[in-house]
């Protein structure tokens, strides 16, 4: 690995321009696969470096190869480009100009930092023993995700290992969080319709009230985690939507319920899924109602491979010191389609701190007031570069 001081010096040479790119992307957020402006910005920036650029990978993704003569291995570095469908509530001068779309998860940072890393590594090409593939992916936020379509379109062809990162306000800028094995959860979702018999609110004895049945289900489902799983097993079952009714004097005919199940283990996930439907079937049957359940499995668990974690830890320790690297960082039940890459090649996903309590930068990802300490971009560039310089 290149000396940490030299890597930071190289990163600083490109820092101001990388911050400008990040703010431009932040100001013009795009969602899902509809990231044409961002993808064109990326492709143009990578093309000016003389890299081999592929556009429209997995629909709207971009890959760029930095080829190293004689290299027998290729390492991939991945960033996601999409924003969230939500309204930004910050006062930064470069806040979103696209109503109802905002980079409240930091993907603008990931994308800009990877562009900056490419520039840095082109300066240090003589220190590379492996080729580098830069992967810029759309649609991380929404099922089915963008990783699978990227993989199907050849994004991992010839790749030996892959690394990714995500900003995290819970950690201060200049710190890292890493973990071996299962790191991020499988984010499943469920949609339920409970059908009863509607009628007048003053004559409930002529009805089968789906609101009552739905309320029983919402209450009973809490027991899955409280009473049906090992208390030391990370599991979340959350009901997040409950829709019914049109008037104060009408008992509706049906109720719609939506929620999420988050797990780190396939056996646990299957048990939770079965228990959820058993509770639903029992409650509806006991009360004369019917139900319809749609259960959708989300991204696979993101698992870090030991060899890649070893390399990531060495890089982070060299950059910021062991005291600023948290390993093991607690597993998180948020989902990431980076897990698909790790099913194909050895991988490591890391958290990089972007918080700054003194400046009030504390809100978590997906909060309308989410912000980052832009110093995290410098650390992200240096970290990516440390992973690949001197690799054999």
Instruction: Supply the residues annotated as catalytic.
Output: 82, 140
Find the length of the chain.
Answer: 392
d(CA 255, CA 212): 10
CB 100 within 8 A of CB 365: no
183, two tokens: 């790191």
Q: How far is CA 243 from CA 211, 284, 288, 300, in A?
A: 9, 17, 20, 29
Phi/psi for 191 (5° steps) reads -125, 125
Phi/psi for 58 (5° steps) reads 60, 40
CB 172 within 8 A of CB 139: no
CB 312 within 8 A of CB 178: yes
d(CA 380, CA 325): 13
Torsion, CA 311, CA 314, CA 317, CA 320, rounded to 10: -60
328 prior amide bond cis, ω within 30: yes
CB 302 within 8 A of CB 334: no
């Amino acid at each position: 690995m290149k000396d940490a001081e030299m890597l930071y010096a190289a990163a600083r040479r490109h820092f101001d321009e990388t911050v400008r790119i990040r703010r431009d992307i932040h100001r013009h957020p795009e969602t899902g696969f509809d990231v044409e402006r961002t993808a064109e910005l990326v492709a143009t920036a990578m093309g000016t470096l003389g890299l081999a650029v592929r556009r429209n990978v997995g629909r709207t993704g971009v890959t760029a190869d930095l080829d190293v003569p004689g290299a027998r291995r290729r390492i991939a570095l991945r960033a996601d480009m999409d924003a969230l469908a939500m309204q930004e509530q910050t006062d930064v001068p470069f806040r979103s100009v696209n109503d109802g779309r905002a980079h409240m998860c930091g993907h603008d940072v990931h994308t800009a930092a990877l562009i900056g890393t490419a520039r840095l590594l082109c300066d240090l090409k003589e220190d590379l023993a492996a080729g580098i593939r830069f992967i810029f992916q759309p649609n991380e936020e929404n099922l089915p995700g963008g990783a699978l379509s990227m993989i199907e379109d050849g994004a991992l062809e010839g790749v030996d290992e892959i690394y990714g990162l995500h900003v995290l306000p819970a950690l201060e800028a200049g710190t890292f969080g890493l973990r071996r094995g299962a790191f991020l959860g499988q984010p499943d979702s469920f949609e339920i319709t409970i059908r009863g018999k509607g009628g007048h609110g003053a004559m409930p004895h002529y009805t089968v009230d789906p609101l009552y049945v739905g309320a029983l289900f919402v209450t009973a489902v809490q027991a899955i985690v409280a009473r049906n799983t090992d208390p030391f097993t990370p599991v979340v079952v959350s009901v997040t939507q409950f829709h019914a009714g049109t008037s104060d004097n009408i008992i509706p005919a049906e109720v719609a319920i939506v929620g999420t199940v988050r797990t780190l283990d396939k056996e646990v996930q299957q048990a939770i899924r079965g228990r959820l439907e058993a509770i639903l079937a029992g409650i509806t049957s006991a009360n004369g109602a019917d139900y319809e359940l749609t259960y959708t499995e989300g991204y696979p668990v993101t698992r870090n491979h030991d060899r890649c974690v070893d390399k990531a830890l060495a890089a982070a320790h060299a950059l910021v010191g062991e005291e600023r690297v948290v390993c093991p960082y607690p597993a998180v039940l948020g989902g990431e389609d980076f897990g698909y890459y790790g099913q194909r090649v050895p991988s490591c996903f890391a958290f990089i701190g972007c918080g700054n309590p003194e400046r009030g930068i504390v809100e978590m990802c997906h909060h309308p007031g989410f912000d980052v300490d832009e110093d995290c971009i410098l650390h992200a560039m240096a970290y990516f570069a440390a992973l690949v310089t001197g690799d054999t």
